[in-house]
Amino acid sequence: MKSAQHCENKYFNRELSWLAFNRRVLNLCSEPSFPVLERLRFLSIVSNNLDEFFEIRVAGLEQQLESGVPEVGFDGLGPREQLRRISEITSAMSDDEYRVWATEIMPALRREKIFFKTPKECSAAEKAWLKEYFDNNIYPALTPLAVDPAHLPHPQQGPVRAAANRQPRRQRAPSDIAIVPIPPILPRFIKMDNFGKEGENRFAYLSDTVKYFAEELFPGYKVRNAAIFRITRNSDLYFDEEETENLLQTIENELHNRRKGAAVRLEIESCVSETALRELVAAIDLDGAFVYKISGSPLNLARLAAAYDMIERPDLKFPPFKPYTPQCFKNCDDIFAVIRERDRMLHHPYDSFSPVEDFVSAAADDPKTLAIKMTLYRTGKGSPVVNSLKRAAANGKQVTVLIELKARFDEENNIQWARELEECGVHVLYGIVGYKTHCKTCLIVRREDDGKLRRYAHLGTGNYNSKTAKCYTDISLFTANAEIASEVADLFNTLTGKVLDPKFKKLWVAPFCFHSKFIDLVEREISHAREGKKARIIIKVNSVIEQSSIDALYRASNAGVKIDLIVRGICGLVPGVKNMSENISVRSIVGVYLEHSRIYYFENGGSPEVFVGSGDIMTRNMFKRIECIFPVEDPEIRERICGEILSGMLADNKFATFLHSNGAYYKHEIPDGEPPFSCQEHFCALSVEREGTHAAYLAEPKSAQTRGAKFL
């Protein structure tokens, strides 16, 4: 174990830690227990993650350099050094993506009679079919752009293009370069249904097909060399919120400029001519360190998600899982009576998201409901929640919705919801200037039979989105607890009335008291440890990167507090260092579902306290967003979180990897005789058991439950 004196740095870098997370996702593409189409889907996720990383994080570092005031983070790395390391890591990651695709996934697909082909790999009959398809379905949509000697056409963000080095057919004429943008509306995979035996799936790559028939676009020319390429650009939105009168209109205008941002990455086929590459790199003004030569197809692996949807082979995908609906919510005549009786918790996706939608729907039609207040951050298309809010307004309820327009990459959807809701009479607000509204809260005000008003609240860790509720792990709490519901009302009043200094006793609300309450409870554990009382901290979050919070955890470790961190993604804390963090372990669980819930457990001298909510241990969550962390006061719910959820995650030896002081993540060896245990499979098994049925593909629930319980 390293000592604090010999540790190179007290903190890991944010960007490099995120890349380590994406590497863990990439490892799932080789997971032998996953069906092959699921491995393909995870490969598309890795590629999409990298796209967003370049569009936002790399772009931000480039801007720091251009500003002339490079900022050195608390980890000690400046933007130039970060960019150098990012270039090395992402280059190796890109190589590994295509290696996994070419040597692992494609061979496995071929064994299942699923073929992805370039035109060169096609038979003569397939080429003839592709030529006809190209002429009828692709050629009319293409617009070749000849490169003027003075400038290159401005290549937009995202869509793949082909760069063609062409030469007039008359001898000794000089060659020039043209670009063929491939419209994003065209399907990236062409399904060749007329070939092969029944049950086979054959696909041709769209971009390779355009490249193969590129000469058709240039009559009188011969294409000497053609290469497919795509450009990643800065996709952040820039505007001064305080100077903006109409936030919705400003963001809508900025979305049109997103595609025109500075280039941050070029991916291009390795067959490109050096002349064409030099001209392209110069035209987009790109650092050569972020030019990636790709030798495989498709150029954009994120597009494999479309192929996953096109291939109807359920035997090559995860078996369908039906979430459990607690008995109290089944065929429920009065959901408010159910919540009045006691607090209720759901653990998604193992528990159904339907009760959350039913809660809002019931309020919309309930004659006793006077008002509905709700925050929306990311909401899927055709959302039942949005439809219920519209219906509530039509039924005369006072409906107030806070929509976060700046939810990255969901801005267009949220603008649409804002307009639709306003047209239906919903009072739509956009929160407090300078702070994203990230909390997940809903408040319903009813007049009860006795004439008194009562508040009902839903508090959660995830968005009001039924689609992500099937693949993100989150926690929902329904409560009619008067104190908590009153503070939720205060939270909404803060958001709508822009209260400057709200006071909260039960809730941790950022930016007002989330950080201070967290630090206070860590310090309390330190005091308990020094007094010889029970002291322990367990935290499950997406990210740990806020410096003063990390320092507080270091102090707790030195005081003898045992600390278990379950951090899915970024972690700036260095564990296992003597005299600094020797009592801290950090594990990441990256599995079938995206771990998204945030849980804070404090032993409190033998009287444990548990908090759940929307905020991670990040500067932005603690100081730059509206977050809500809430206490779990119902003993049975608290026991389920501790004895089932946290214990199960601490027992995971199948998908858990452990962060070491060198920054690398390793799996622990499973002792002989001990079976692999996945907490996610365990939670699925418990849901099946609660439903009273069984599924052969899941772990045996009773033995799993026993193994998990010993950890707390």
Active site residues: 438
Please name the residues in contact with 242: beta carbons below 8 A apart, sequence gap of 6 or more. Answer: 433, 434
Helices (H), 241-353: 247-257, 274-284, 304-310, 335-341
Relative to beta strand 562-567, strand 584-589 is parallel
CA gap 619, 547 in Å, rounded: 8
Kindly state the DSSP code that residue 29 receives in the 8-state scheme: G
Residue type, 674: E
Using CA of residue 593, residue 599, residue 603, residue 607, what is the dihedral sign? negative
Beta strand ranges found along 472-571 (DSSP E): 472-479, 508-510, 536-541, 562-567
Distance of CA 365 to the CA centre of its chain: 34
| Cβ atoms of residues 392 and 367 within 8 Å | no
Helix orientation angle between 411-423 and 247-257, rounded to the nearest 10 degrees:
150
Helix orientation angle between 384-394 and 354-365, rounded to the nearest 10 degrees:
10
Backbone torsions φ then ψ of 440, nearest 5 degrees: -115, 90
Kindly state the DSSP code that residue 4 receives in the 8-state scheme: G
Residue type, 333: D
Q: Which of 281, 249, 242 is nearest to 265 (CA)?
A: 281
| Cβ atoms of residues 379 and 465 within 8 Å | yes
CA gap 69, 98 in Å, rounded: 37
Relative to beta strand 625-631, strand 508-510 is antiparallel
CA gap 511, 435 in Å, rounded: 8
CA gap 589, 49 in Å, rounded: 17
* Strand-pair partners of 3: 578
- Express the helix, strand and coil content of the chain in percent, nearest 5 each: 40, 20, 35
Backbone torsions φ then ψ of 50, nearest 5 degrees: -65, -35
At 296, list the tokens.
Answer: 């495989």
| Cβ atoms of residues 160 and 229 within 8 Å | yes
Distance of CA 583 to CAs 10, 103, 546, 653, Å?
15, 41, 19, 20
